[in-house]
Structure 1
C-alpha cells in the first residue's frame, strides 16, 4: 500500500486531513477548530509523504517529526500521525487501540471543559450558576473544569484584579501576566468555594488557571484552595501557547502544596515532557494528541509518566469529533495513571450530521464506551459533508 495523495480542507474552521492510498483506504484526522491557518502547512508535507507505506507509521513519522514544534505547529505532524493510524487500523480490520497494545478499559472517562453556557459575569454566584448547569448536563460528567484567573476575563471584569493593565488580545492563546492583588486572590478563592458548594463531593472540580501567574501567587492560591480537594490546577505558570516548559519552576510550585498541579497541553514530543516527568515537576500531565505528535506519542508519554508516579489527563477541548475518536482509541490503551480526557464537541453542531459511527448517546455517566470499528472507528460522510466545503476545497472528497 502506498500514499498517493494528501489533501486538506477547512470544514467549519477545522483543518481536516485526508491521506489517500492506492488501496482505496483513506485516513482522516482533524486539528483544533481554531487553526484554519494550518492548511498550507499541512499541504507542504504532501511531497514528503507520497509513495510511502502508511501502515509503517513510525517509519513515516521519522521523516517528518522534526518539522513540528510547540503548539500550534505540532498539530500538522500530529494529525498526519492520527490519519496514518486510521489507515493502518482499517487495513488490518481492527480498531486502532488494538495496534496500540489493546484495551485496558472498556469505557473511558471524560471531563467536561466544553459543554457549558456562556457566563455573563465572573462573580462567585456566576460560577455557582455555571457549575449548577454543568452538574445538570445529561452526560453525567464526574469531573468538570472551569476557567479562572488569567485564563478567564476576571483580569478584565474584576476591578483591581492584578497589578497590571489587561492587554492580551488578538491571536488566540495570548494571556496577560502579573502579580495578583489581595482582592484578586480572595475573589478567586470565593469563586472556588461557591463552585464546590454546588458540586459537593460528587463531582470533581478542576481549574484552568492561566498561564500568567507569578510563582508566589500560584503557591498562595494552591495552598488557599487545599481544603476544597480540587482535582487539579492547570497551566498556572506555562501552558496553552507557551513555547517552553519551565519544569524547575513548576517543581517549586508542586512541592509547596497538596493541591495537584497539571500542565502540558502545548508541549510537542516526549523529549519535551522528559524534564517535567523525571523531576516530578507536576502531579498530572495533559498532552493533547493534536499537538504532542499524535496518539502513539501520547501513549509513550503516559507510560513514562506512570513509571514516575505522574497521572495523565489529556487535553482535547477543541479537537472536534475526529479528534475525539482518536482520544477514545488511545485512552482505551493507556495505563492506570489515566484519569480522564477533556471532552470535545462538534463545532459547529452540524459536525454531528457529517460524522458516522459515534455511539448514541455518546457520553453516559461521564464515560464513553470504546467502539470496535476499524481504524479510528468513525467516518466522515462525504455526501453530507460536501455542502460545507468551500469552493477552494470542493475536490477534497474526489
Structure 2
C-alpha cells in the first residue's frame, strides 16, 4: 500500500489543496481508486449527482434593445441546476425551441454527444442560433455541476482579461464619426472598428457608377427581396469611382487624425459591391494601415477572398455568419483569410468556436470574436477568449445601451472596464439573471420563461442517413 492509502477523504483533499506540498500527479495515479475518485469529485456541486442529471425543460425569454433582439435560453434539470445560453442577435427563438423534444430526458453533461445529435438542426447566419444557445447552456450546467468555470473545462485559461473592441456604426459626418471613436479611446478601448458603408456617401454626386440601378436608400440591412440590401455583392454591379473612394477615405482620415495610430482600427460593412471594387477601396485605404477589412464579400466566396488577399496588403477577415468548423477549414486551408471572426451564437456554441480558434492557430491565423447580444452570450464568449491562445479581441456592440450590465448578476460591474472584460470565476458561465431587469427589457408577448409544452414532442424522423 502507498503512503496515501491510509489517508481519510478529508486528509486526502487537504493534501490535494495544499499546492506544492500536497498531492502530486504521480501520487494521485498511485493512490487507491477511492482516493482518486474523492480527488476528482471534490468540487462537484453537493446538490448535484452528475451521472443522474436529466434535462426536464427548455424555456426562453426575449430581450429587446440589447442592442437588438436577443433570446435567452434556460435549460432545467431534475436536480435544480439550470444553464443559460443565447440565440444569435435578431435570431428566432424557435430555432432553440425546436430542439427541446430532442433534449428532454438526456444528461446535459454529455455536451459533445448532444451537440453532434443536434448539429443538423443548425445552419449559417441566425439559423445557427438555436444549437449554439443550447450548447452554451449545457456548458453552463456542466460547470455548475463540477464547480468550475467553463474556461477550465476547455483546458484552462491563457488570460485573466479579455480585450474588447468597440464597434461604432455609420455616421454621416466625418467629424462626428471621429469624435465618437475618440470617445471610445477615452473610455479605455485599445481596439476599434468602424462601419464604412457606401450609404454614407450615397448622396455624393458621381461617387459611384450604377446608382440608378438602386433607387432609394442603399441600406445594407434592408431585407426587401430583390432590393440592394438583399442582393449579394457580385450582383449589384455598383462600382466606386475615384471620387467615391476619396469620400470614403475622408472618414478614415478624420478618425485617424482624431485617435492617432496607437489604436488599431478595422473596417466593416463597406457595402454590397464586387471584389474588384473592394480591392480598389482597400488599396486606397492602405496608407491608413487598416487592421482589417471584414466581409468584403459573402463568406462563401472563398476564391474571391483569396483574390482580395493576393491583391492588397490590407488583412481580410470573415466568419460571423459561418456555422461549424467545416466552412472555416475551407477558408483557412485555401489561405483565403488573414483573420477568422466567428460568432459563438452562430458558430455552434462554446466548444465549436474553441475548435475553430485552435484550427486557425495551427495555421498561423488569429481569431477575433463577433458578438452583439446580451451579457449572457458575452460571458460565454469571454470564456472562449480566455481559453484560446490565438484570440485577439471580442466585439462590444452594446457600450451605448443604458443599463446593459444590469441584465446579469455575478461578475463585477462594469463588465467592460478600461476596454477589457474580466474573466468570470464563478462556476459555469459565472452569471445569473437579474430578474427585475430582464422583465423590464423583455418582449411581453413572449413572457418570462413561460412553459413551452407545445415543444415537448418531436413529430419528425430526424435521421439524415439510411
CA deviations 1:217-248 (Å, max 9, x no partner) are 12122122222222111111125xxxxx1111
Secondary structure at the residue paired with 1:225? helix
Cα distance in 2 between the residues matched to 1:213 and 1:391? 39
Distance verdict in 2 for CA 1:392–1:145, change over 3 Å: closer
Matched positions, count: 381
Within 5 Å, which residues of 2 pair with 1:254-273?
254-273=309-328
Q: Is the 8 A contact 1:161 1:184 kept in 2?
A: yes
In structure 1, what is the equivalent of residue 264 of structure 2? 204
Q: Is the 8 A contact 1:211 1:235 kept in 2?
A: no
In structure 2, what is the equivalent of residue 374 of structure 1? 427
Secondary structure at the residue paired with 1:18? strand
Distance verdict in 2 for CA 1:41–1:346, change over 3 Å: farther
In structure 2, what is the equivalent of residue 8 of structure 1? 60
Cα distance in 2 between the residues matched to 1:367 and 1:76? 28
Secondary structure at the residue paired with 2:208? coil
Cα distance in 2 between the residues matched to 1:95 and 1:384? 24
Cα distance in 2 between the residues matched to 1:394 and 1:141? 34
Q: Is the 8 A contact 2:286 2:314 kept in 1?
A: yes
In structure 2, what is the equivalent of residue 85 of structure 1? 139
The farther-off stretch of 62-71 and 165-174 is 165-174
Cα distance in 1 between the residues matched to 2:79 and 2:127? 30
Question: Is 1:247 the counterpart of 2:293 in the alignment?
Answer: no
Q: Is the 8 A contact 1:68 1:268 kept in 2?
A: yes
Q: TM (normalized to structure 1)? A: 0.89
Q: Is the 8 A contact 1:135 1:199 kept in 2?
A: yes
Cα distance in 2 between the residues matched to 1:346 and 1:31? 20
Cα distance in 1 between the residues matched to 2:399 and 2:260? 29
Distance verdict in 2 for CA 1:145–1:134, change over 3 Å: same
Within 5 Å, which residues of 2 pair with 1:67-82?
67-82=121-136
Question: Is 1:320 the counterpart of 2:374 in the alignment?
Answer: yes
Secondary structure at the residue paired with 1:112? strand
Q: Is the 8 A contact 1:267 1:291 kept in 2?
A: yes
Q: Is the 8 A contact 2:70 2:90 kept in 1?
A: yes
In structure 1, what is the equivalent of residue 384 of structure 2? 330
Deviation at 1:43, TM superposition (A): 1.3
The farther-off stretch of 155-164 and 1-10 is 155-164
Distance verdict in 2 for CA 1:66–1:74, change over 3 Å: same
Deviation at 1:305, TM superposition (A): 0.7
Secondary structure at the residue paired with 1:187? helix
Secondary structure at the residue paired with 1:101? coil
Select the residue among 390, 393, 409 that pairs with 1:340. 393
Within 5 Å, which residues of 2 pair with 1:134-153?
134-136=184-186, 138=187, 140-150=188-198, 153=199
Question: Is 1:154 the counterpart of 2:209 in the alignment?
Answer: no
CA deviations 1:187-217 (Å, max 9, x no partner) are 1122211111111122111111345231221
In structure 1, what is the equivalent of residue 459 of structure 2? none
5+ residue gaps in structure 1? 240-244
Q: Is the 8 A contact 2:385 2:391 kept in 1?
A: yes
Q: TM (normalized to structure 2)? A: 0.77
Cα distance in 2 between the residues matched to 1:342 and 1:387? 25
Distance verdict in 2 for CA 1:125–1:309, change over 3 Å: same
Q: Is the 8 A contact 1:25 1:91 kept in 2?
A: yes
Distance verdict in 2 for CA 1:348–1:10, change over 3 Å: farther
Secondary structure at the residue paired with 2:256? helix
The farther-off stretch of 159-168 and 264-273 is 159-168
Deviation at 1:133, TM superposition (A): 2.5
Cα distance in 2 between the residues matched to 1:392 and 1:223? 48
Distance verdict in 2 for CA 1:39–1:189, change over 3 Å: same
Secondary structure at the residue paired with 1:339? strand
In structure 2, what is the equivalent of residue 171 of structure 1? 223
Question: What do you get for the CA RMSD once the two structures are aligned?
Answer: 2.3
